[in-house]
Chains A and B, each alone.
Chain A
Amino acid sequence: LAKTTQPISMDSYEGQEVNITCSHNNIATNDYITWYQQFPSQGPRFIIQGYKTKVTNEVASLFIPADRKSSTLSLPRVSLSDTAVYYCLVGPQTGANNLFFGTGTRLTVIP
């Protein structure tokens, strides 16, 4: 499984766009990039998944450059309720593979 590196923590003011970058230099050809959000004492919540270029859903956007060695989760106009830990994971999409959770990024949204 490809290892990921993320900033340990980030602070942002309410209403701002937040970009969290994840490095995964050893990503394999069949690996997908998945981001999860976790609030205290809750299970992680799936946010977005992508393979290349850009993926957008109602919650976030995921930008993946051509070399796929990094990815950026973009949260538009964050609110206080977006304060959480965000995990970037890399692994094959199929095959029931387990997920390796790194340290994650603790995002704190400030009023």
Chain B
Amino acid sequence: GAVVSQHPSWVICKSGTSVKIECRSLDFQATTMFWYRQFPKQSLMLMATSNEGSKATYEQGVEKDKFLINHASLTLSTLTVTSAHPEDSSFYICSARNPAGAGKGTDTQYFGPGTRLTVL
């Protein structure tokens, strides 16, 4: 249980194009999902918190107009990197919060496998 998927697992795009990454909770409903970014040899950095049916909350320094987040259902959140540039190349990871009392363990976050974005 508590499986989170991401699609695609990797993507290569040209500078200036937009890329959409999907995050799905496969066996539980997630009212809250999170998006992280991880550069090589570094730790995960939270980008934004995505709440179903409402606007995402972005961390300081993260451009909301560049990283568009949509959480249209309890099992799907999307991150769109608009007008991507080479410096946006990174490993993007989503997580979904699995509330306590759902029979799937304690209230914690379960992470997707990540999406490797390379912008040429």
Residues of A at under 8 Å CB distance from B? Answer: 32, 34, 36, 41-46, 49, 87, 93-94, 96, 98-104
Of chain B, the residue at the smallest CB distance from A34 is B108
B110 proximal to A (CB < 8 A):
yes
Interface size on B, residues (CB 8 A): 31
- A93 contacts B100, C-beta separation under 8 Å: yes
B78-116, CB < 8 A from A: 91, 93-95, 97, 99-100, 105-114, 116
Main secondary structure of the interface of B (DSSP, over half): strand
- A96 contacts B32, C-beta separation under 8 Å: yes
A65 to chain B, nearest CB (A): 20
Main secondary structure of the interface of A (DSSP, over half): loop
Enumerate chain A residues within 8 angstroms of B4, measured Cβ to Cβ: 43
- A99 contacts B43, C-beta separation under 8 Å: no
Given contacts A98-B34, A98-B49, contact A104 B113 (CB under 8 A): no
B119 proximal to A (CB < 8 A):
no
- A103 contacts B114, C-beta separation under 8 Å: no
Q: How far is the CA of A103 from the CA of B93 in the complex (A)?
A: 17
B53-75, CB < 8 A from A: none
B89 to chain A, nearest CB (A): 14
B31 proximal to A (CB < 8 A):
yes
